[in-house]
Structure 1
Amino acid sequence: MNILISDELLNGTVTNQFEMLVESDQLTVAELITKRVTLEIENYNKRLPDYFNGLVQPKEAERTLNGYKLKAKQLIDVEKQVYIALSAFQKNGFFVLVDNEQLEELDQVVTLKNTSKIAFVKLTPLVGG
């Protein structure tokens, strides 16, 4: 089934939206994050556009208004990005909501429906802190 994925800010503003194919109606939060990150890295690596718009910033990139800009066009390592994303989730770098219910643990099992909506809510770091 195809599930709607959204990236949102705390105020509810949607900054990115796409559909992701999910083979099973049950998966863990870790599997959901891994699948999402893998999909976006594979899509980026196929085209190598100027900007990467993904869940987490690659180490070799700088944040810009249009997304993350890599210093030189290069492939992004899927395993590294998955590790960074899973770590960021555990450190509250972003929240995951499925049908407006917050998921809290990587091993938490999620049951999806055809109408399920998944939101990744990115937290922006405070400046000067």
Structure 2
Amino acid sequence: MGKVTFVDEATSGERREAGGLDAAEERLTLRELIRRRVACEVAPGEAESAYARAVAAFGRNGFLVLVGDRQIEELDETVELDRDTEVTFLRLVPLAGG
């Protein structure tokens, strides 16, 4: 069983805790971690569309995901969960004009 803490970070250095969850599994895919985080943050009727937007944003490099100091690059990549896993969602800001 793992305890996951979500952290939101921006390239400006802004950082804040964004909740967390207890997972009975020892491993989850990034896709499932995103699904569970979204489910914790939105109303039940909005979860699927919010999840789809989050996955799309990840696909177009809107944010990076770091587990500890390791970047998770694929939605189906497996993340090892221990008793205290920190998952950072690093929001990327496009360059002006690009």
Instruction: Please report the TM-score for the alignment, with normalisation by the length of structure 2.
Output: 0.85
1:81-123: CA deviations, max 9, x gaps?
Answer: 1001011111111000001100000111111111221100011
| Residues 50-129 of structure 1 aligned to structure 2 (within 5 Å) | 77-129=46-98
Deviation beyond 6 Å, 4+ runs, structure 1: none
8 A Cα contact 2:3 2:81, kept in partner:
no
| Displacement of 1:128 | 4.0
Instruction: Work out whether residues 9 and 15 of structure 1, in 8 Å CA contact, stay in contact via their aligned partners in 2.
Output: no
Compared with structure 1, are the counterparts of its residues 113 and 12 closer, same or farther at alpha carbon in structure 2 (3 Å cutoff)?
farther
CA distance in 2, matches of 1:106, 1:19: 19
Q: CA deviation at 1:76?
A: 6.3
Task: Provide structure 2 residue ranges, at least 5 long, that are not aligned to the other structure.
Answer: none
TM-superposed CA distance for 1:28, in Å, is 0.5
Looking at both structures, which has the greater relative contact order when contacts are Cα pairs under 8 Å and sequence separation is at least 6? Answer: 2
| Structure (1 or 2) with the greater strand fraction | 2
- Using the aligned pairs only, state the percent identity: 35
**How many pairs align?**
97
- Structure with greater Cα Rg: 1
Quick one: structure 1 residues 22 and 104, their matched pair in 2 at CA, closer, same or farther if it must change by over 3 Å? same
RMSD, aligned α-carbons: 1.9
